[in-house]
Amino acid sequence: MSADSNDSQLNLENLIQLLLEVREYHPSSKMINMSENEIKTLCAKATEIFLSQPMLLELKAPFKIGGDYVDRGGQSLETICLLLAYKIKYPDNFFLLRGNHECAAINRIYGFYDECKRRYSIKLWKSFNECFNCLPVAAIIDMKIFCCHGGLSPELQSLEQIKRIQRPTDVPDSGLVCDLLWTKPDNDVKGWNENNASISPRFGVDVVTQFLYRHKMDLICRSHQ
């Protein structure tokens, strides 16, 4: 069953309804038969919206902020398509932050590439990652809560640095974008610990305290573990 018999048009309401039906199957085994053109249209429309909005979102509560929408089970396609569909339907009320798995180098390894290749094509996988390269990487809620998937960065001195990041952008091996998606807090660390095997350094409580004081914020909300 296709979400829309006419590939040139995107029947958003029908598509969302079909994707929501997946929840009724336990264990989740139902695959939605969307055409590749429909999914590419979804990616293109969502990308256009992402690029029209800031790299550092400034929002009002309440919001749930996350990342890592793919590589989390056998139906990453249904998951990300539903999220993109909601973004298109509610562009000013539904927001997605980039996670470290919204990166070709990572989701090439952890399942999303294989799922796209098995069910559709490598070209579709590339289309998704072109979309991911346009996702915002951070948000500020009510001017008091800093949100990102990973954590802080030793390179982050001003929030203007995030606003100036040009898109589309892949995730580099190091630097500000990489850190915002990868770093983790560590209660046993003071300052920055860059002498470990992880992609990005870990940061201590003192780094968090200094950041919050400097920017007059109350807390940091993150989701990467």
Q: Is 101 a catalytic residue?
A: yes
Distance CA 92, CA 34 (A): 26
Helix (H) or strand (E) holding 209: helix 205-215
Q: Cβ(191)–Cβ(204) under 8 Å?
A: yes
| Residues forming beta bridges with residue 138, ordered by sequence position | 56, 148
Q: Cβ(98)–Cβ(181) under 8 Å?
A: yes
Which one of 26, 101, 149, 215 is the catalytic residue?
A: 101
Distance CA 27, CA 137 (A): 32
Q: Which two tokens stand for residue 204?
A: 């201590």
Q: Which of 180, 124, 127 is nearest to 156 (CA)?
A: 180
> Order of strands, edge to edge, in the sheet holding 145-148?
56-59, 138-141, 145-148, 219-221
Provide the annotated active-site residues: 101
